[in-house]
Amino acid sequence: MEYDYKNIKIEKNAGVAIITFNRPKVYNALSSSMLKEINTVVDECNADKDVKILIFTGEGRAFVAGADISQMKDYLPYQAINYLEEGHNIFRKIEALSKPSIAAVNGMALGGGTEIALACDLRFVSKKATFGLPEITLGIIPGWGGTQRLSKIIGIGRAKEMILSGDTISAQRAYEIGLANRIISDELLLQETNDFAKKIATHSTFAMKMAKDSINFGYGLCTEVASKLENQCTSQCFSTHDQKEGMQAFLEKRKATFIGY
């Protein structure tokens, strides 16, 4: 059954699902209803065998300007923890997807916007994109994985600088510190991100899952244990049609045709 989304849009083409946050009047702020729709669309894309890659982007001037403060301001701790756990579970679901995800950051990515971008595998950003975790200026701290994922991606010192200052950084600075993978002109952001996604959608989906598992679950382990994990993930690929096809195609000097297992 097709879901009637109110706060997001979804378009599927050539193995790529483009998910657009669609509350432009409030700069795509993450309300509870929007979080529920993100959760539903991620499940939908995960179950759809034709979807190989997910792209997240925003409608209007913002990617996501953060959580919906008007909804949060009067929360008591028990209400806050439920709201925070909801976001944590959804962002972790994006991070742990077997399918790669790309944040095409078209504008402001503040608070929860930076955090959802951090949960994606890659971040392609427009020249007008900005990042920030301004929660400290509201008397709280990042609560959807920002204190954890940011330090792993840009290093603990730079993460503390961003989180303790609450300052916003430019696309260029995000690229310099490794938060952004690429900077793309505003008008070409979605096109170039989509072109990249279509390219990697031709790879073996099982191999991409094993690559993500090896990276995600090996990060932080000692080298010996992480290498064992990598060996297990690599060896699992040898159980697939795609491994046989990929190596045979290489020997025959032709393009491989992968089927996902």
Here the CATH number for the domain that contains residue 163 is 3.90.226.10
Q: Which helix (H) or strand (E) holds 20?
A: strand 16-21
Number of domains in the chain: 2
Residues 75 and 193 in one domain: yes
Residues 183 and 212 in one domain: no
What integer pLDDT is reported at residue 193 of this predicted model? 98
| pLDDT, tens digit (0-9, with 9 covering 90-100), for 108-126 | 999 999 999 999 999 999 9
Task: Give the whole-angstrom CA distance, residue 229 versus residue 215.
Answer: 9
pLDDT at residue 2 tops 70: no
Residues 238 and 164 in one domain: no
Residues 105 and 165 in one domain: yes
Residues 194 and 224 in one domain: no
Percentage of the chain surpassing pLDDT 70? 99
- Range of 217's domain? 205-251
Active-site residue (options: 37, 115, 187, 224): 115
What integer pLDDT is reported at residue 174 of this predicted model? 98
Q: Pairing state of beta strands 182-184 and 122-126?
A: parallel
Structural domain contains residue 261? no
Tokens at 132, concatenated = 């920030």
Arithmetic mean of pLDDT over the chain:
95
Is 176 one of the annotated active-site residues of the chain? Answer: no
Residues 76 and 154 in one domain: yes
| pLDDT, tens digit (0-9, with 9 covering 90-100), for 186-228 | 999 999 999 999 999 999 999 999 999 999 999 989 999 999 9
Structural domain contains residue 151? yes
Which candidate, 189, 22, 17, places its Cα nearest to that of 100? 17
- List b or e across 109-139, with b for residues whose CB sees 16 or more CB atoms inside 10 angstroms: bbbbbbbbbbbbbbbbbbeebbbbbbbeeee
What integer pLDDT is reported at residue 23 of this predicted model? 95
pLDDT at residue 102 tops 90: yes
Structural domain contains residue 105? yes
pLDDT at residue 96 tops 70: yes
Structural domain contains residue 260? no
∠ CA(41), CA(43), CA(45), 5° rounding?
70
Structural domain contains residue 168? yes
Question: At 1, is the pLDDT very low, low, confident or very high (cuts 50, 70, 90)?
Answer: low
Of the residues 200, 219, 238, which one is the last residue of a structural domain?
A: 200
Residues 129 and 238 in one domain: no
Residues 155 and 96 in one domain: yes
Instruction: Note every long-range contact of 89-93, with CB atoms under 8 Å and residues 24 or more positions apart, other chains counting.
Output: 89/39, 90/35, 90/38, 90/39, 90/42, 91/115, 91/116, 91/118, 91/119, 91/144, 91/145, 92/119, 92/145, 93/39, 93/42, 93/43
Which candidate, 87, 65, 60, places its Cα nearest to that of 168? 65
Tokens at 8, concatenated = 């997001």
Residues 83 and 120 in one domain: yes
Structural domain contains residue 67? yes
Could you tell me the sign of the dihedral formed by the alpha carbons of 203, 218, 125, 176, in that order? negative
What integer pLDDT is reported at residue 170 of this predicted model? 98
Structural domain contains residue 142? yes
Residues 87 and 209 in one domain: no
Task: Give the whole-angstrom CA distance, residue 166 versus residue 58.
Answer: 22
Numbers of helices and strands, H then E, in the chain: 11, 10
What integer pLDDT is reported at residue 73 of this predicted model? 87
11 DSSP β-pair partners = 18
Of the residues 163, 183, 200, which one is the last residue of a structural domain?
A: 200
Task: Give the whole-angstrom CA distance, residue 35 versus residue 53.
Answer: 20
Active-site residue (options: 135, 192, 245, 252): 135
Is 135 one of the annotated active-site residues of the chain? Answer: yes
Structural domain contains residue 215? yes
Cβ neighbors of 62 (< 8 A, separation 6 or more) are 24, 27, 28, 106, 107, 108, 109, 113
Residues 209 and 195 in one domain: no
What integer pLDDT is reported at residue 201 of this predicted model? 94
Residues 13 and 103 in one domain: yes
Of the residues 185, 200, 215, which one is the last residue of a structural domain?
A: 200
